[in-house]
Amino acid sequence: MVYTAQHEMLARQTPDETAQQRFVLALKRHVMISMRPGVGLAYAKQAEPAYLAEHGRPPADRAEAEEALDSSSHYRFTKAINRISQEMMWQAVGETVYREKDRLETAAGRLTDVAAAKGSLSLDPSLQPEQIYNDCFIHLQPEGYLPADPKGTSIIAGAFYESGGRLYSMGRGMGQEDSKAGAVIKWLEEVRPGWRPKRILDMGCSAGSASTAYAEHFPDAEIHACDLGSSMLRYAHARAESMGAPVHFHQADAARTKFPDGHFDLIVSHNLLHEISGDTRRGVAAESLRLLAPGGICVHQDVDLLFRGKAAWEEAERAYDLHFNNEPFWLEYATSDLTSELTAAGFPQQAVNEAKVKKVAGPGHWYAFTAVKPE
């Protein structure tokens, strides 16, 4: 594997593990590039005619289109291979992560020694994340986002997130770089040339790959990041330290942080929206307004998944992740309207926007909801 950001916390593969991961990557690419695009044809040629013959009308909504699609052998085979490739990905990554676990825990202990660290880690054992994150391991990540951390040394959630995420994103043909923060930074340069935010918050930071990108791009800014679990955050903190990036990590619910009012000039989230409930998403909108300083901006970026304007069969195909990839909030996001929610939270309507943010490391774009707090 060729990774762009090299650092001490990255689980290192043996040549055998690299070969195993390359195989998974090839399989994932085959699913994304050769199999999934054929689903539309399978719908038009097989699924819809079969449904029409049985019901005397075409499928009227997503649920009916899902039923119709299931009559297509191409669709059933595609989703089976898709699921298997995801399981294989975590197995392959797990070989490396579990073999490297002791080294990574030791490295994290050394890197985060408070005397030397540039950033910090504030844990809040009283935080009670929604139970779903314990019951449902999102996108099948082994041990989930909130693994047990009895000794206070776990880094496993972050190690899995970073190694799995890199393999997964390449499988989706997005290029090899962590492009989300880079894309938003480039977009910010276009809409606010020369702007230097003083304080930045990265909501739902996971392993902190975006947080460190902001720290590198805005070296004079104070960077904060929050997420739910200690294992994820300990990895993120150690990772940032190993890269020399001063980031302050906090165990906090993005919808209910303990930062003071007006504390941040820039609030970002990357791929958080599709992994939270509607209530939390509305909470994130309200918290963004509360936390922004006058003139500050929030940029909530996510995948371009929204159902608007999509045909029933496309909605059905996109529901794959809800049913087979443990993404419990996938459809809740796809049918959401954060623009209205930001306005309902109190941002003036003219201050709220949606942007297609061009990817920097591959074709296509990300979707972003942005809002500016009035001066």
Ligand X SMILES: C[S@@+](CC[C@H](N)C(=O)[O-])C[C@H]1O[C@@H](n2cnc3c(N)ncnc32)[C@H](O)[C@@H]1O
Output the smallest distance, CB 158 to ligand X, in A: 9
Give the pair of three-digit tokens for residue 96. 């490396």
327 is an interface residue for ligand X by CB under 6 A: no
Of 10-18, 204-212, 242-250, 323-331, the window that binds ligand X (rule: CB under 6 A) is 204-212
Per residue in 325-338, is it b (16+ CB within 10 Å) or e — as a string?
ebbbbbbbbbebeb
209 is an interface residue for ligand X by CB under 6 A: yes
Q: Which of 35, 159, 210, 266 binds ligand X (CB under 6 A)?
A: 210
69 is an interface residue for ligand X by CB under 6 A: no
251 is an interface residue for ligand X by CB under 6 A: no
Of 166-174, 226-234, 286-294, 362-370, the window that binds ligand X (rule: CB under 6 A) is 226-234
With a CB cutoff of 8 Å and minimum separation 6, the contacts of 251 are: 122, 123, 124, 127, 226, 227, 228, 229, 230, 233
Strands 264-270 and 199-203: parallel
255 is an interface residue for ligand X by CB under 6 A: yes
Q: Helix, strand, or coil here: 1?
A: coil
> Directed axis angle between helix 338-345 and helix 278-291, to 10°?
50
CB 31 within 8 A of CB 78: yes
163 is an interface residue for ligand X by CB under 6 A: no
Q: Which of 7, 28, 79, 180 binds ligand X (CB under 6 A)?
A: 180
CB 244 within 8 A of CB 219: no
247 is an interface residue for ligand X by CB under 6 A: no
d(CA 185, CA 224): 16
Of 80-88, 147-155, 183-191, 197-205, the window that binds ligand X (rule: CB under 6 A) is 197-205
227 is an interface residue for ligand X by CB under 6 A: yes
Site size with ligand X, rule: CB under 6 A? 22
Give the pair of three-digit tokens for residue 327. 């993404």
In the shown chain, the binding pattern of residues 262 to 291 toward ligand X, with x for contact by CB under 6 A and - for none, equals --------xxx--xx---x-----------
Q: Which residue has the tokens 């294989």?
A: 88
Output the smallest distance, CB 168 to ligand X, in A: 10
205 is an interface residue for ligand X by CB under 6 A: yes
d(CA 374, CA 372): 6
341 is an interface residue for ligand X by CB under 6 A: no
CB 153 within 8 A of CB 105: yes
Give the pair of three-digit tokens for residue 367. 């979707």
Output the smallest distance, CB 255 to ligand X, in A: 5
d(CA 373, CA 375): 7
Rank residues 78 and 169 by Cβ distance to ligand X and give the closer one: 169
The residue with its CB nearest to ligand X is 204
CA dihedral 18, 20, 23, 25 (to 10 degrees): -60
Binding positions for ligand X, rule: CB under 6 A:
145, 180, 203-206, 209-210, 226-229, 232, 253-255, 270-272, 275-276, 280
